Amino acid sequence: MLLYKKKLSIFHSFMHMTFLKLYKRWQTDSNSQRSVINTKYSHQFLKYKILTWYCMTLQMVIYIESCNSGSMLEHLPSNVQVYGVSAADPNNPSCACYLDKVRHAYIADEFSAHWLLHCKMSDLTRTTFQNQFQYLRSQVKQSTPCQYGNNILCQRFISDFLGCPDSRTREAHARTAHTFKPTHLTASHEVPMVLLNMKIEKERDPTRKRALQRDYDNRQQEDVTFLLHHIHVFDDLLRARAEVHRIKGAITHVYSTQRF
């Protein structure tokens, strides 16, 4: 999810008008006696300079929801006009929620559910991205939201990028905030097996049921085989007398790697 401060259509119009204005000034310069080749390269250079200037002023906010999503933002430099928030840290999964047993699908995730509620119930003209991040860290329990990039940009008001809901919308969602609690919380890497198990339980055709069960058993066997291939990781941690949370983190990381 990307939030731009300015629309790209405005950018294209602005860049085109600015370029034409500067290019005409360059053409009318009586001291400019350039060849056709120089004209071509000067044209490209001027366009490049305008694009570079605009990119320096463009500001962007990124939200990423996926397992290990922090790994996609952890190398984001702090000296660019980009601020990012991930649903999970680089080494752990995010969490799905709201299982729809009719459609056999999880229709949301814990991070996005809390993010949407916060955006709907808050006065975004007075709420900064940092305020929102602190809210997410306090409400999201099954994963660890992380922030990356420009620390100054996170002090901007969210309404500068996203607009703001009206007062009636904010009041309606604020009333539900105290009782809001996502259900069916499931680590994302476990979702395929949970859904497959649901299909097995609901299947009435014996042949199809056996086929689904074989698929389920094969996947479980693949998991065991994969974990056995990485048993040396856990052995090294145990020999080093690693703390329990490090061992659990390693198990989760290996297991989620197998799933994806």
Q: Is 68 exposed, middle or buried (0-12, 13-18, 19+ CB in 10 A)?
A: buried
**Where residue 86 falls among pLDDT bands split at 50, 70, 90?**
very high
**pLDDT digits 0-9 by tens, 6-26:** 444 454 555 555 555 555 555
Per-domain boundaries in the chain: 2-58, 61-186, 203-259
Which residue in the block uniquely carries the two structure tokens 């085109």? 16
The two structure tokens encoding residue 75: 């190398």
State pTM to two decimals.
0.68
**pLDDT digits 0-9 by tens, 122-171:** 999 999 999 999 999 999 999 999 999 998 999 999 999 888 888 889 99
Q: Is 227 in a helix, a strand, or coil?
A: helix
**pLDDT digits 0-9 by tens, 26-35:** 555 544 444 4
Q: Give the pLDDT score at 43.
A: 54
Please tell me the number of Cα atoms within 13 Å of 243 on its side-chain side.
3
Q: Give the pLDDT score at 2.
A: 59
**pLDDT digits 0-9 by tens, 198-224:** 999 999 999 999 999 999 888 887 766
Closest CA to 63 of 111, 125, 130: 111
The two structure tokens encoding residue 74: 């952890």
Closest CA to 3 of 166, 172, 126, 149: 149
Q: Rounded to a whole number, what is the distance in angstroms from the first to the last CA of the chain?
A: 21
Closest CA to 145 of 123, 113, 172, 170: 113
Q: Is the pLDDT of residue 258 over 80?
A: no
Beta strands of 45-127 (E only): which ranges?
60-64, 82-86, 95-100, 105-109
Contacts of 213 (CB under 8 A, 6+ apart): 200
Give the torsion through C-alpha atoms of 140, 144, 149, 150, to 10 deg: 50
- Quote the CA–CA distance of 122 and 173 in Å, as a whole number: 9
Q: Is 53 exposed, middle or buried (0-12, 13-18, 19+ CB in 10 A)?
A: exposed
Q: Give the pLDDT score at 98.
A: 95
Q: Is 258 exposed, middle or buried (0-12, 13-18, 19+ CB in 10 A)?
A: middle
Q: Is 27 exposed, middle or buried (0-12, 13-18, 19+ CB in 10 A)?
A: exposed
Closest CA to 110 of 83, 92, 129, 128: 92
The two structure tokens encoding residue 238: 């145990």
Domain 61-186 maps to which CATH number in 3.40.50.1460, 2.20.25.90, 3.20.20.150, 3.40.50.10420?
3.40.50.1460
